[in-house]
Amino acid sequence: MNYPKGSIKRSQSVQSPKASPKSPKQYGNRGMTLEKEIVESNSYYLESGKAVIHKKPTPIQVVQVDYPKRSAAVIKEAYYQRPSTTDFNGVYNGLYIDFEAKETKNKNSLPFSNIHEHQVNHMLQVEQQGGISFFIIRFTSRNETFLLPIRPFIEVWNQQFDGKRKSLSYTFIKESGYLIPFTFQAKVNYIDVIDRVYITGGDHDESK
């Protein structure tokens, strides 16, 4: 597979119209690059009629609101809440798609501390309903992004409860997941992987 190394990082983060100078820095900032590229890829999918997949808004608990006369309500006190599901969901070709994006600077593993148990439970529920659920995992230092389906993930995830595991290894993700190709129009072209893996039931080894 031709994977244009180095080209992803360069073409990021300048473009998003949503990154206003007013926006405060957030503790979740680490994952923003991958997230932005997925949002952009989703825009391309939407505009080209290929898929309808959106990022869910961040849940915020509103405590106090002012209602100034003749202008919009101003939220004066609010708190970020932990999302109860995943970041992204939608429909592609009649299939329900549901996934979470994770990015790490580590070279050889993704710590489980990045992943919340309730999200994993949600992903299992989705799969039991016949939906397609997976992680998109980026190793920034390697400039590689993988689609890891919930099934292989869950086997390793469950090992942490015996104290055996605290992370997903790069090797495991590479072997059980699928490298997501970079394309000009969809920087994180995960629909391409869905086509090969879930629809045509593609050979796993081909994707490496």
Binding stretches for its own copies (CB under 8 A): 22-24, 26-27, 46, 49, 51-52, 54, 56-60, 62-65, 72-81, 83-85, 89-96, 98, 122, 125-126, 128-131
Give the shortest CB-52-to-its own copies separation in angstroms.
Answer: 5
100 is in an annotated binding site: yes
Of the two residues 11 and 129, which places its CB atom closer to its own copies in the complex? 129
Of the two residues 65 and 206, which places its CB atom closer to its own copies in the complex? 65
3-state secondary structure of 92: strand
Whole-angstrom distance, CA of residue 4 vs CA of residue 25: 30
185 is in an annotated binding site: no
Q: Is 206 within 8 Å of 197 (Cβ atoms)?
A: no
Whole-angstrom distance, CA of residue 140 vs CA of residue 51: 26
Give the shortest CB-44-to-its own copies separation in angstroms.
Answer: 14
Residue 104: closest CA among 184, 3, 173: 173
Give the shortest CB-125-to-its own copies separation in angstroms.
Answer: 5
Give the shortest CB-91-to-its own copies separation in angstroms.
Answer: 4
Residue linked to tokens 């209602």: 67
87 is in an annotated binding site: yes
3-state secondary structure of 196: helix
Give the shortest CB-161-to-its own copies separation in angstroms.
Answer: 22
Residue 139: closest CA among 99, 176, 168, 96: 168
Of the two residues 126 and 188, which places its CB atom closer to its own copies in the complex? 126
What tokens were used for 164? 């055996």
Residue linked to tokens 């509103």: 62
Whole-angstrom distance, CA of residue 200 vs CA of residue 208: 17
Of the two residues 57 and 163, which places its CB atom closer to its own copies in the complex? 57
Instruction: Work out the angle between the directed axes of helices 150-159 and 117-128 (0-180°, nearest 10).
Output: 140
Of the two residues 77 and 206, which places its CB atom closer to its own copies in the complex? 77
Q: Which residues are documented as binding site?
A: 85, 87, 100, 119
Q: Which residues are annotated as a binding site for Mg(2+)?
A: 85, 87, 100, 119
